[in-house]
Structure 1
Amino acid sequence: MEHKNSKGQVWYREPMMWLVVGGPLLVVCASITTYMIAAHQPDPVLERDSSTESQRVGQPLTPEQRDSLEPAMKARNHVASPLVVTDK
């Protein structure tokens, strides 16, 4: 026996029911899909040589490394500098 609401419709033909149930159902399906993708295609682990890594720490940057960091340093300094307001 099917349950009918006050309009005489069965529960699965009610649009509001699908709005309430559809959102969480969509999130559950998306999370299961994301988990399946992550489980079957994991990111590779990067191997680091600990001896060369420990020697590099604390060493001055080479000119090539310094040049590659210049845009980031400019952005960091721009954000960190105080706002100067001049009265005209």
Structure 2
Amino acid sequence: MSSIQTQRISSGPWWKYGHMWLVVGGPAVVVVASFITLYLAVTRPDPVYADAPRGVQVQPADENDPALTPAMQGRNHAASPASAKALAGTAPARQPGHP
């Protein structure tokens, strides 16, 4: 007679393992959350936004207004191709004390 006996080990049902709940539970939570999001999107649509009431004409800003000078200079500087060419050949300045 053989001294080695084979034993049958029962692993038990899958729902008794915690790591299996992580594998199945994560996607299940995402599916439930997507249905909740779909319900909220269908039942509560966003209101339509209107910039100005009908009949009211909005005047464009005057480009000569002194309050807009910094914005106009920044816009013109960013749109200027000459400044990009001039900066392309220059190296950034080093600050004292920094290698």
TM-score, normalised with respect to structure 2: 0.46
Greater relative contact order structure (CA < 8 Å, 6+ sep) = 1
Which has the larger share of helix? 1
* TM, length-normalised to structure 1: 0.50
